[in-house]
């Protein structure tokens, strides 16, 4: 009996972001193109969702993924992020803008009609942003999209870039910038304000987080 199920092409772009829930550091969006050959190689490398991999291993795997797969990485540093958020006033719209930018950049290098991303908002936000730039693609948004190999590879590239840039920002400001939005993050924020003044907070942090109120409200 012949299988008449429509065949979904293996070629696809996976997109994922890192830094969305981190007070300090950039927002990074990565897009990775995967075909049959690179899919096998990524499987052999045991590529999976970056949340299931240690930071050290992420930093080891990322250069291999960058070498194997056509990709694009969009990093929005805290200062630029705060400017964009002040204009857009909506995190999902800001994410859509970043996803569209990463896709647009990668579609300049490869021809692909399909992309997979995590479910975070109205997919039309991304598609409209792409159409404004003359690009069209079938976008599939999924819950737990990181289970797809292309999205998992993108999650590793995005997290590696986030970690590298967070470390660089820590060196520039002279204070270790913790990940996430914990009490340790608030403490680091208060240290920065004490050392450098309130105006420097926006050079390392995403100011619309509630953490900002906690940081500024607890300055002696």
- Full-model pTM: 0.90
Q: Where are the beta strands (DSSP E) in 60-212?
A: 71-76, 114-118, 138-142
Name the token pair of 111.
């021809």
Ordered structural domains, the chain, with CATH? 12-171 (3.30.420.10)
Per-residue pLDDT tens digits of the chain, which is 220 residues long: 444 444 466 899 999 999 999 999 999 999 999 999 999 999 999 898 788 899 999 999 999 999 999 999 999 999 999 999 999 888 888 888 888 889 989 998 999 889 998 876 667 777 777 776 667 788 888 877 778 899 999 999 999 999 999 999 999 999 999 999 888 999 999 999 999 999 999 999 999 999 999 999 854 4
Strand order of the β-sheet with 12-18 is 71-76, 27-34, 12-18, 114-118, 138-142
Distances (CA, A) of 75 to 48, 102, 161: 21, 9, 8
Q: Smallest Cα–Cα separation from 39: which of 18, 76, 8?
A: 8
């Amino acid at each position: 009996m012949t299988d008449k199920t429509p065949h979904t092409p293996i070629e696809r772009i996976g997109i994922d972001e890192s830094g969305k829930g981190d007070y300090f550091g950039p927002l990074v969006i990565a897009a990775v193109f995967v075909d049959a050959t690179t899919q096998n190689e990524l499987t052999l490398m045991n590529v999976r969702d970056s949340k299931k991999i240690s930071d050290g291993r992420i930093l080891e795997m990322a250069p291999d993924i960058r070498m194997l797969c056509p990709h694009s990485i969009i990093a929005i540093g805290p200062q630029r992020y705060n400017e964009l958020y002040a204009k857009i006033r909506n995190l999902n719209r800001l994410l859509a803008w970043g996803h569209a930018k990463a896709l647009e950049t990668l579609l300049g290098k490869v021809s692909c009609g399909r992309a997979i991303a995590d479910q975070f908002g109205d997919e039309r936000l991304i598609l409209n942003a792409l159409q404004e730039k003359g690009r069209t693609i079938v976008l599939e948004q999924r819950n737990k999209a990181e289970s797809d190999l292309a999205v998992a590879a993108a999650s590793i590239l995005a997290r590696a870039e986030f970690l590298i840039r967070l470390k660089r920002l820590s060196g520039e400001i002279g204070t270790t910038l913790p990940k996430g939005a914990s009490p340790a993050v608030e403490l680091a924020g208060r240290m920065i304000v004490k050392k450098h003044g309130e105006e420097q907070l926006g050079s390392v942090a995403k100011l619309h987080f509630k953490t900002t109120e906690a940081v500024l409200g607890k300055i002696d």
